[in-house]
Structure 1
Amino acid sequence: MLLLQFKDVRGGRHTGVLITEQTVHVLQGVSSTYELIQLAIAKGCGVAELAAEMLGDERLDYATLSNEGRLLPPLDHPDPAHCYVTGTGLTHLGSADTRDAMHRKLDGETGVLTDSMKMFRLGLEGGKPAAGTTGVQPEWFYKGDGSIVRASGEPLTMPSCAEDGGEEPELAGLYVNGPDGTPYRVGFAVGNEFSDHVIERQNYLWLAHSKLRECSLGPVLRVGELPAHVEGISRVRAVDGSVRWEKPFVSGEANMSHTIANLEHHHFKYPLFRRPGDVHIHFFGTATLSFADGVRVAPGESFEISASGFGPPLVNALAADEVNSVTIAQL
């Protein structure tokens, strides 16, 4: 089942099921995916099961919602401060080569493993533990709270302090904590993790700075388990809409050095992330970047990310924030 959220022409919120590429079946009795999930937790039933029971008679055209800018991220929290956006890197087969190429020293010491390669090797050796055991912890980063999440059709804004605005085509896990703090995995969505690869390349210890950016998600939430093998396409389109760069990407555990369960364990093992009612959006990493192919995306150009089984493509234009400075007030 593919869930999505959208606004009506008056700005009211709704949620629905994408039943074909162009038809949205509207749910009755709930105005958000978060509300639907909380109701499912309270009833002790599955989200897909409950959503099927709440389908009304109203059907809408997906293209109309998209063209009119009425799409919302497929999951959010009424208070953005209660939505954590995080991620794990060096999780996909091949991703270490991309990162290592960015970090490689100019002194030609090719025989020495970089920290990126060491981390990737740890994942290869211990990222897929036997059932009931704990594997090695991955690289982990914080991106922001719910205020940074953009829907398909909204721009991704590169802050004035940034040196690059590049896409990262990924899958993200979407979670809601129950009243007792138990994390519930609702499903997965296509995402653009959007980072500053120039800053990261200058020094890998600036990875944290490079990740404090907006991101996009959706347009749909795929309820249920993640397929072992997922194929997608990442594109950069010029201002005139022509394809400037494109490349396939793969995800799913068959293409990863960690299991989803291991990545989830090392995120939710911290009590901070098991606060009742909170939403978590967790990016699982990628091995495909236009930046790694020497592409620099310019404001006005757009990103397009799609994956089989995850509905229509996620589309966002790149925008640049105006130059600004921060004034610190003294009390």
Structure 2
Amino acid sequence: MLISQISRPGGGIAVVVRDGSEAAVVKDAASTYALAQEAIATGRSLAAVVAAHGLGEPVDLARMAEEGRLLLPVTHPDPAHMHMTGTGLTHLGSAATRDAMHAKLEGAEVLTDSMKMFRMGLEGGRPAKGQVGVQPEWFYKGNGHIAVAPGKPLTSPAFAGDGGEEPEIAGVYLIGPDGRPHRLGWALGNEFSDHVTERINYLFLAHSKLRETSFGPELLVGELPADVRGTSRIRRGGRVIWEKPFLSGEANMSHTFANLEHHHFKYDLFRQPGDLHVHMFGTATLSFADGIRAEPGDVFEIEAAPFGLALRNPLAQAPAEPGAVTVEAL
């Protein structure tokens, strides 16, 4: 089952569900967030709550995309309580990349900190069920104010070195009244980052991640396939200038999702009742690594079969700031 949200012509939102090619509005659903709250309160699955509401008028999601009416598949009523985070160095990449990485690990006498972190994941990122493995690289992107709807521009700030895509799978979670995390489902994510700034010094990683991001348009409810195969591309003037397959899912990762989830939600800070979390699980495919420099107007496009519609966002550039940000003393 796939869940999305669209804007209504007269204002407000509608929750849309589809199985296969047929999509329809969920009756009497204020939002995906409200449906998830209902599921937690009644001890039912999200799919069971949707079934109980029933479906109304059909929806042409492809037309909604053309009309710019796609919204994020879930949002929080207060964007400050929607946390955007992620983990890195979690993916093995293609078979060739994996073999090359292992050869480098075995033959190198001095490893970079990133390679050490990757090796830690290979050796301890897949613990037995119920056990705790090694913690991954973790980063903070921002709150709901930086979450951009599918189809809308991802804006790179004037001070950025660049703005580049990162095709990832995101887990979406709602914290219940008792502080327990509940996973709503999975979505495609563009963990938009500044790779030029990161390349200056890896200690600038935290700065490079404080950028806008997008996920969706559809939320996959249920189990995620172990082997997810998708395509990431960049279009310029309607023409594809770069395209590459990407792999995700646990079959292509050095960590289990359970281990990554544990190391995010082990912090009390991230188990506050009512908070929404969108956590991106990393990638092994970047156009930047192939020497591509995205330009304003380019369109990032990420797709994978289990997730329905592709996630598309054009790149925009913010105007230059007039000067330094100043602070006023009270």
Category of TM-score, reference length = shorter chain: over 0.9
Deviations 1:15-47 (A, max 9, x none): 0103344x4310111121000000011111000
CA distance in 2, matches of 1:18, 1:11: 22
Give the aligned partner of residue 187 of structure 1. Answer: 185
Give the aligned partner of residue 294 of structure 2. Answer: 297
Question: SS where residue 322 of structure 1 aligns?
Answer: coil
Question: SS where residue 42 of structure 1 aligns?
Answer: helix
Task: Identify unmatched segments of 5+ residues in structure 1.
Answer: 102-109
Deviations 1:98-139 (A, max 9, x none): 9x99xxxxxxxx742000000000000000001221100000
Residue 63 of structure 1: CA displacement?
Answer: 2.1
Alignment of 1:1-331 (within 5 A): 1-21=1-21, 23-94=22-93, 111-238=109-236, 240-324=237-321, 325=323, 326-331=325-330
- Provide the aligned length of Structure 1 versus Structure 2: 320
CA distance in 1, matches of 2:119, 2:29: 46
Contact 1:157 1:320 in 2 (8 A): yes
Contact 1:173 1:185 in 2 (8 A): yes
In angstroms, what is the RMSD of aligned CA positions?
Answer: 1.8
Deviations 1:128-153 (A, max 9, x none): 00122110000000000011111211
CA distance in 2, matches of 1:158, 1:219: 21
Contact 1:73 1:150 in 2 (8 A): yes
Contact 2:90 2:281 in 1 (8 A): yes
CA distance in 2, matches of 1:320, 1:15: 31
CA distance in 1, matches of 2:56, 2:10: 20
Contact 1:19 1:25 in 2 (8 A): no
Contact 2:158 2:320 in 1 (8 A): yes
Task: Identify unmatched segments of 5+ residues in structure 2.
Answer: 102-107
Give the aligned partner of residue 106 of structure 1. Answer: none
Amino acid at match of 2:19: I
Amino acid at match of 2:74: L
CA distance in 2, matches of 1:228, 1:20: 20
Residue 297 of structure 1: CA displacement?
Answer: 0.3
CA distance in 2, matches of 1:196, 1:208: 10
Contact 1:34 1:76 in 2 (8 A): yes
Deviations 1:188-215 (A, max 9, x none): 0000000000000110000000000000
Question: SS where residue 38 of structure 2 aligns?
Answer: helix
Deviations 1:270-295 (A, max 9, x none): 00000000000000000000000000
Residue 156 of structure 1: CA displacement?
Answer: 0.2
CA distance in 1, matches of 2:49, 2:175: 18
Residue 48 of structure 1: CA displacement?
Answer: 0.9
TM-score, normalised on structure 1? Answer: 0.93
Question: SS where residue 307 of structure 2 aligns?
Answer: coil
Amino acid at match of 2:146: I
Contact 2:93 2:247 in 1 (8 A): no
CA distance in 2, matches of 1:216, 1:246: 19
Question: SS where residue 292 of structure 1 aligns?
Answer: helix
Residue 327 of structure 1: CA displacement?
Answer: 2.9
Runs of 4+ in 1 over 4 A off after TM superposition: none
Stretch moving more, 10-19 or 178-187:
10-19
Give the aligned partner of residue 107 of structure 1. Answer: none
TM-score, normalised on structure 2? Answer: 0.94
Contact 1:137 1:263 in 2 (8 A): yes
Amino acid at match of 1:236: I
Question: SS where residue 29 of structure 2 aligns?
Answer: coil
CA distance in 1, matches of 2:308, 2:63: 15
Using the aligned pairs only, state the percent identity.
61
Residue 226 of structure 1: CA displacement?
Answer: 1.5
Residue 55 of structure 1: CA displacement?
Answer: 2.4
Contact 1:4 1:15 in 2 (8 A): yes
CA distance in 2, matches of 1:154, 1:187: 22
